[in-house]
Chains A and B, each alone.
Chain A
Amino acid sequence: MNNTWIILGATSSMARAFARAVSDRGDGVLLCGRDMADLKASAVDCAARGAPIAEALAFDARDPKSFQPIIDRALREDGQLHVSVFVGSMPPQDAVDADPSLIAGVVTDSYTGPATFLQRIAPELEARGGATVVGVGSVAGDRGRIGNYVYGSAKAGFHTYLSGLRNRLTRAGGHVVTVKPGFSDTAMTWGLEGMFLVASPEKIAEDILRAVDKKKDVLYTPFFWRYIMGIIKAIPERVFKKLSV
């Protein structure tokens, strides 16, 4: 059966690596985002690598009107439909401190926008059976820290949403993978201070694909972030509140 992936936030290098990996297997890709010129270049690249369908589609998490055309386009493909969400934004915490109205955008990009999209397409995914949803959250969503708690809280909301969606889609033979990357070497982190154990987008994409195949529920990538976050989550709040980790 042919597979088609809707990829939201396809300009991200993590998404690009994922799109290439599924193209290599012969899956189709619908690359969704704001920078159409860039998405078109990626579409040609995916087609050259083996994707039978590779198209660029306009998607803005802050503009729900952009959602339905993508869903309509996807439904024209028969076979299995899958969705992966790489959208997210992380303005520096001090920018948010200076202008708290930025919070709405962060939450829309990282949580409510993608969740609204998923909510709209969910009935179609249920109708088709074995769909997979990949939602990229972040280890930052596991605990609020002084450095980026607005972004972290949006990701935490998205994690909780994904867990509920998993509960729902499982009943229809579908599956949801929550992905929690640690630091990854992408445009978002290039030049940021304090990065360590940084993983390549290709490594993250490879891990995601394996998690999809194995029907994992929650993926920490690279794997050791599960242990790092295990420790961070175990610190009592009365101690944690004084730390800056």
Chain B
Amino acid sequence: MTWKTMTYTGWGRVHDATGRVARPERMSHLQALEPLPAIGNCRSYGDACLNDGGDAVLMTRLDRILDLDLDAGEVEVEAGLPVGDLAKLLAPKGWLPAVMPGTGFATIGGCIANDVHGKNHHGVGSFGQHVLSIKLIQDGKPKTVTPKQVSLFKATVGGLGQTGIIASARLKLLPCEGDVITVTERRIDDLDSFFEALDGSRSTYTVGWIDATAKGASLGRGILEEAETAYGLVPKKPKSRKVPFDATGFALSSPVVRAFNAAYFRRIPESGQTRVKPISDFFFPLDKVHDWNRLYGKRGFHQFQCVVPVAGKDVLREMLEEISRAGLASPLAVLKRMGDGRGGYLSFPMEGYTLAVDFPNRGRAEALIGELEEMTAKAGGRIYFAKDATARAETVRAMYPDLKKFAEVANKIDPNHEFATDLVRRLRLREVS
């Protein structure tokens, strides 16, 4: 196996890692490697996908369909396949991956290892709940894990790669009407109306865009998007664009973001609107602009994402006040209702509301995120490892009650912590007590 010594980053580009990276193109080469952490398309924002000073295996060239059963609605794929590629292939045949995160670049391995959620979490739960089996490589030999092996399965789903390399997986699919989607957008005037609208939504796919710069009576205003897949024809979208260089601070300065958000809000007529789009425009709206993370400049950016239980939802108002006061938010802010579906010990979801906000990495951003984390903890909520770059181990322990069970399983398989990544070490996720 040949190695490439390289420096790579998480999606937020705040942390980086330097080390040897292997990129096998066939299973036999993957199996020939000593135990080491696997990484996908590095769409995690922080350091979940980094192993500074150590080796890693990049899974992206193992991206084939290994079995497709359209009658049963099941597919087996190599773990490096991007979930968006799978959706594109399956939708015209009447099926979709049951759960899709907001980027189609996330690989199936990454979707399992972070037990990702989608815009239909309230209806179908998390990614791991639709996984029928996983081929795990722990010491060269692949081993099949199914939900029947409860503890190993639960430590693998959402397990950040700590139980071994996910080589391939068999997934249960969700039927869909076709490869277009009918999207209804309506304005929401404030936070209480948002909670109400999210609770009342009966759609398969529901997501809220929130104006994190709005204050006072408009605090929590935004746009509710509800969608159903459909059969039909829509014009092909233009080719994706690239951000060719790192942007300067101006692009995302506070007045620019405020003006942008106000315009974005008013884009939707007061009476709302319904449009038909290609599915990827709805599920992966940001993927059209390649490398958009470079818009935040060299210093990168953070995403804060928390989920809080329904009873603790008022903390979101305090958070939004805090955020708009700080004047640091970017246009990317999302509010969603979550169900209780979760597949693993370290899965993020819980019944409640999840808020995600991007912040450029400047000024008080990290301090603000620290405060938001404390508020989340007090409200009985949790933060998401896929997004985190700054949390402290102590804060996180209380949020994940099954951490001990997780660490016991992982430590038994990997006593020397050869699968550990920078995030796992920073948050001490492998410590049993």
Interface residues, chain A, with chain B CB atoms under 8 Å away? 11, 13, 16, 35, 37-38, 41-42, 44-45, 47-49, 186-187, 190-191
Contacts and interface: CB of A to CB of B under 8 A. Distances in A.
Contacts of B27: 37-38, 41
24 contacts: A11-B25, A11-B26, A13-B25, A13-B61, A35-B26, A35-B28, A37-B26, A37-B27, A37-B28, A38-B27, A41-B27, A42-B64, A44-B65, A44-B67, A44-B68, A45-B64, A45-B65, A47-B68, A48-B65, A187-B23, A190-B2, A190-B4, A191-B4, A191-B5
A37 B2 CA distance: 21
A38 B27 CA distance: 7
B66 interface: yes
B326 interface: no
B3 interface: yes
A52 to B, nearest CB: 15
Contacts of B68: 44, 47-48
B23 to A, nearest CB: 6
4 closest Cβ contacts across the A-B interface? A191-B4, A45-B64, A48-B65, A38-B26
Interface in B1-53: 2-5, 23, 25-28
B233 interface: no
B289 interface: no
B268 interface: no
Interface of B: 2-5, 23, 25-28, 61, 64-68, 78, 89
A42 B78 CA distance: 11
A191 B19 CA distance: 12
Contacts of A186: 25
Main secondary structure of the interface of A (DSSP, over half): helix
Contacts, number: 45
B66 A187 contact: no
B8 to A, nearest CB: 14
Nearest to A50: B89
Contacts of A11: 25-26
Looking at B3, B5, B26, B66, the one whose CB has the most chain A CB atoms below 10 A away is: B26
Contacts of B64: 41-42, 44-45
A50 to B, nearest CB: 9
Nearest to A35: B26
A38 B78 CA distance: 12
Nearest to A13: B25
Contacts of A49: 65, 89
A11 B64 CA distance: 12
A44 B75 CA distance: 11
Contacts of B3: 191
A38 B25 CA distance: 9
A13 B4 CA distance: 17
A44 B66 contact: yes
A38 B28 contact: yes
A41 B66 contact: yes
A186 B2 CA distance: 11
Contacts of B28: 35, 37-38
Nearest to B70: A48
Given A35-B28, A48-B89, A190 B65 contact: no
Contacts of B89: 48-49
A13 B61 CA distance: 8
Nearest to B20: A191
A38 B29 CA distance: 10
A11 B27 CA distance: 12
B97 to A, nearest CB: 14
A47 B89 CA distance: 12
Given A41-B26, A41-B64, A191-B4, 11 more contacts: A11-B26, A37-B28, A41-B27, A41-B66, A45-B64, A47-B68, A48-B65, A187-B2, A187-B25, A187-B61, A191-B2
Nearest to A38: B26
Contacts of A44: 64-68
A38 B23 CA distance: 15
A49 B67 CA distance: 11
A102 B32 CA distance: 25
Contacts of B66: 41, 44-45
A35 B65 CA distance: 17
Nearest to A12: B25
Given A13-B61, A48-B89, A190 B67 contact: no
Nearest to A39: B26
B171 to A, nearest CB: 13
Contacts of B25: 11, 13, 16, 186-187
A8 to B, nearest CB: 17
Q: Which of A42, A47, A48, A187 has the most CB of B within 10 A?
A: A48
B29 to A, nearest CB: 8
A16 B23 CA distance: 16
Contacts of A35: 26, 28
Contacts of A38: 26-28
A45 B80 CA distance: 13
A48 B67 CA distance: 8
Nearest to B168: A41
